[in-house]
Each structure stands twice: as C-alpha cells, then as structure tokens.
C-alpha cells in the first residue's frame, strides 16, 4: 500500500526519546568511525534520563551508521526484537531510516530472513506490520495490539523498513528527500550490509525481498542491486557480505505500467464483483489507452523525468479518476470507502494513534509524530518521473540467474488489479516465456482452511498467483491464506533447482 488516494490528489492538482537530530550529529558522526560496535549515551535534558544505543559502522559505507535498541517487547514479546535507525550523513543534511526486526517464532537460527516494504510511494512499512502480516495487529482506537497467529514471522525472521526517507518514523534533518526508486535501493542495500554484519548470525540465512503496491518498483530494484553487488563480492571487488538472496515476492504491485494500464477498463468491467463502472465510462477508458500507451512508451524509451511525468499525469487521470465517483474502496471494490480515513481504512488511523502514544514511542526510542503516508514524497517521486519507469526489465535477468519470483494479487483490488498483473507476467520476455505462457492455471485449495483460495501458474521459478476474496492488502483480507502462500514460497525458493522436480511452486 498504498498510492491511490495520494495518486488522485497528485493528478487532480498536477513521547519522549532523545532529541535526535542535534545529538546524533555530534554522537554518531563525530565520535565513532570504527567498524566495531559502540555504545552511545545521550541525555534527555527534560528529565535527565539516559538513553543507550548500540552503534555499528562499516568502512565500506563511511556515510552510513546503524544504531539499535535491542530490548523492545512490543507486539510480539516472546521473540527477540531490534528497533533502530540507519543514519546517513549527507552533503547538506542527514537521513535516518527506521527499522523494526522480529525473530522467527519457529527457528530463528535456520528460518529465512524476509524484508517487507510497503509502497505509496510515501507509505510506512509499519502498516504491513500492524495491519497485515506482522506479529500483531493494532486494536480499535489504537489502545494496544493483539497477537497475529498468521504472522509471516511464524516461519521467518522478519524486518520492516521505513523507506524512502520521511516515511513513517524515518526522517531527514533537512530537505534532501529521496525521490527515485534507484536511490531508495542503494539505501536499502547499505542498511542490509550494516544489519547483517552486526547480526552476522542472520547473514548465512536465505534472504527474500517482499512488498506490495509501489514495491512493484522497489523490490525488483533492490533485488537487482543485491545481485550486482554479490557479483562484485565474488570477484573480490569489494569487502561486502554476500547476501543469500533466494527470492522476491510482489503483492498487487505496479511493475510494468505499459501493460498494466491497459487493463483498468477490463477490471472495471469484470463481472465477479461488478461491473463497477457504466459502459460509457469503460469505453472512454479504452479509447484513451492508445494515448496513454504512447506516453508510457516514451518513458520506457528515454527514461527521463521530461518523458515520464506526462504519462503519469495523463494515464492516472484517464484510468484512475473515473473510479472516484463510485464511492467504492479502490483497494477493495467489494466495499465502500470508509470516509473516516482518506485511504479508506479506519485501522490506518488506529495505527497512527497507537504509534503516537508516548509510552510506545518511549519503548521504540523515537521522538516524532508518526504519519502512515506522506503526500509530499508521493509528489516528488511523481515529478522525478519514477512512476512509469520500466522496472519490469529487471525481472528477466534475475530469473535467468536462478532467482525465484512470486507475483501475487488479490482479485478485489482495482488500483493494482490482478488482471493487469497477470497480463504483464504473461507478456514478460525471458528465456522460459513460452513455457510460462503454456503452463496451466492450477486451482489452489488451502490446506489450512479447505477453501478455494485462488489459482496459480508457475514455471521455472516464475509464479503468478491470483488470490480469491482479497483486495490490495492480501495479508489483511486473507491472513491464513497469505501465511500459507509465503511459507510455501520460502520453502520452495530455499531449495536448489536440482531438487525442484518440476521447478513449480506447489500450494
């Protein structure tokens, strides 16, 4: 999640922790320069309390520093947790990325490590933690949390990262905001190097990058960055850790706009939950797609802000704007949009209320207002031309290097609908395109619930999964099925290709 409400605005208008910014410039950037862990002490002048962070640096990343608090017991008190920041020293100001890590409930020494990213661009990954797949869900009103029995940390070590900068609890000391997916991927890679070198017991584990919505951009970019750097490590061109990347999973993502934007009209006309627009609106959408396609093709060809911004503005107005008059939830067309929150879900307000409680912020060692989504970040990505760029082109080389990739989509979502996602997966040109196109869609009946949960097509490490009765946030709408899905994928992608009899993911 979650870019639609932010998107429509853009297209319509073409408790008490340390005082971080001033203290951290002094404590982190001036005092510590070694790669060994250090302890930083800072005094809160208001009450004399001393806060302690564990500090870690690497000579390969001289501008990056990791600071961690290791004693959090929120959300899932029975597992080990780490919360903290990656501090980045900039040319004019500094950036600080917030993360929250949970060990696996099963076997943290052997279970894989999974990174989760929400989208936007400009939405916090703590939404995924407290609404979707994390170890707990926020209670109504934000007065606490309830354990999530279907959390993805049942069988995986799980880390949530607030990125790009100024998302959630992440912040900058100035105006230097990240506005492109490539820049964001570089910061994520540096975080992984710092985290895995400090906590090297996780560095040998299988690693997976997962996310939803605009993470259809983020996940391929991060995966490609890791593989490129791993090759440099193998050639002894740097001293970085080899990250054991095994797979990528993207839920209801924006990955190939050129293909996906063609299918908004089909989703509007789809009979399972609709049609949701009248015939005139649907035909108007179809008539505007050729212009939309031409604009996106220019972006794909030239890859500049000048050639990519027009497509984002025109296509979003043409294909997304007609939906607004329906009053439906653009992330789940089975429901009306809840008017209490601009992103249609009351629980998002509950998350903000919970994370802004003084006692919660004190435990997390944060001292700033939490906001789930930021419009200014969304606009910066839009006007940097990032929106329509073809990150889909990063997928084939990764498949051909043996990476397993899962594309899943709840079939009640409009904004990143399953029809468009399946279409780009089928049109993807890679070495096994014909085999994937010829493969059959197989019914998925959940072993946990006995229900018809969806349909799956898989071939040679590439999988498309349609999830029934789920919207944009599959783990929120189908928690048990999403847990079953991710556990099967983690188990599958952790195997060697020789041990995969059909090279097919089975659910």
Residue closest to 316 by CA, chosen among 302, 304, 330, 306: 330
Phi (first) and psi of residue 360, to 5 degrees: -70, -45
Cα 301 to its chain centre, rounded Å, is: 26
Which positions are catalytic? 213, 413, 472
Exposure of 430 by Cβ count < 10 A (0-12 exposed, 13-18 middle, 19+ buried)?
Answer: middle
Contact between residue 392 and residue 255 where contact means Cβ atoms under 8 Å apart: yes
DSSP assignment of 171-197 equals EESSS----SHHHHHHHHHHHHHHHHH
What are the beta bridge partners of residue 99? 84, 161
- Cis bond upstream, residue 290 (ω within 30): no
Rounded (10°) CA dihedral 217, 218, 219, 224: 90
Q: What is the DSSP letter of 9?
A: H
Please give, one letter per residue, the 3-state secondary structure of 391-439. HHHHHHHHHHCCCEEEEEEECCCCCCCHHHHHHHHHHCCCCCHHHHHHC
Residues 6+ apart with CB under 8 A from 130: 75, 136, 137, 138, 145, 351, 354, 355
């Amino acid at each position: 999640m979650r870019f639609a409400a932010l998107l429509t605005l853009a297209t319509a208008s073409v408790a008490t922790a340390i005082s971080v910014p001033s203290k951290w410039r002094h404590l982190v950037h001036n005092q510590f320069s070694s790669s060994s862990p250090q302890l930083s002490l800072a005094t809160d002048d208001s009450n004399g309390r001393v806060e302690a962070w564990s500090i870690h640096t690497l000579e390969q990343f001289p501008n990056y520093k990791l600071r961690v608090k290791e004693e959090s017991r929120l959300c899932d008190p029975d597992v080990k947790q780490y919360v903290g920041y990656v501090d980045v020293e900039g040319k004019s100001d500094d950036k600080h990325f917030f993360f929250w890590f949970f060990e696996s409930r099963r076997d943290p020494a052997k279970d894989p490590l999974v990174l989760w990213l929400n989208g936007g661009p400009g939405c916090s990954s703590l939404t995924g933690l407290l609404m979707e797949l994390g170890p707990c869900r926020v209670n109504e009103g934000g007065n606490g949390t309830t354990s999530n029995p279907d959390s993805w940390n049942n069988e995986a070590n799980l880390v949530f990262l607030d990125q790009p900068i100024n998302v959630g609890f992440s912040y900058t000391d100035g105006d230097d905001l990240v506005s492109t997916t490539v820049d964001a991927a570089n910061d994520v890679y540096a975080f992984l190097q710092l985290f895995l070198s400090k906590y090297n017991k996780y560095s040998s584990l299988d690693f997976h990058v997962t996310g939803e919505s605009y993470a259809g951009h983020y996940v391929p970019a991060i995966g490609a960055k890791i593989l490129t750097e791993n090759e440099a490590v193998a050639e002894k061109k740097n001293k970085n850790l080899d990250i054991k990347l095994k797979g990528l999973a993207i839920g209801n993502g924006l990955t190939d706009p050129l293909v996906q934007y063609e299918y908004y009209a089909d989703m509007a006309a789809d009979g399972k939950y609709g049609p949701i627009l009248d015939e005139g609106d649907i035909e108007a959408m179809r008539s505007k797609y050729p212009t939309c396609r031409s604009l996106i093709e220019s972006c794909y060809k030239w890859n500049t802000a000048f050639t990519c911004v027009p497509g984002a503005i025109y296509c979003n107005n043409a294909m997304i704007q007609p939906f607004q008059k329906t009053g439906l939830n653009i992330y789940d067309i089975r429901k009306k949009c809840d008017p209490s929150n601009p992103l249609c879900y009351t629980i998002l307000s509950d998350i903000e209320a919970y994370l802004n409680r003084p006692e919660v912020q004190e435990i997390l060692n944060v001292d700033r207002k939490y906001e789930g989504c930021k419009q200014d970040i969304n606009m910066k990505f839009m006007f940097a031309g990032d929106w329509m760029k073809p990150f889909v082109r990063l997928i084939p080389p990764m498949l051909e290097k043996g990476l397993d990739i899962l594309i899943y989509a709840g079939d009640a979502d409009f904004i990143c609908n399953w029809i468009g996602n399946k279409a780009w997966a089928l049109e993807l040109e890679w070495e096994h395109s014909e085999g994937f196109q010829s493969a059959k869609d197989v019914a998925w009946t959940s072993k946990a619930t006995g229900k018809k949960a969806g349909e799956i097509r898989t071939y040679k490490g590439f999988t498309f999964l349609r999830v029934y009765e789920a919207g944009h946030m599959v783990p929120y709408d189908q928690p048990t099925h999403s847990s079953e899905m991710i556990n099967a994928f983690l188990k599958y992608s952790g195997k060697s290709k020789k041990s995969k009899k059909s090279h097919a993911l089975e659910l």
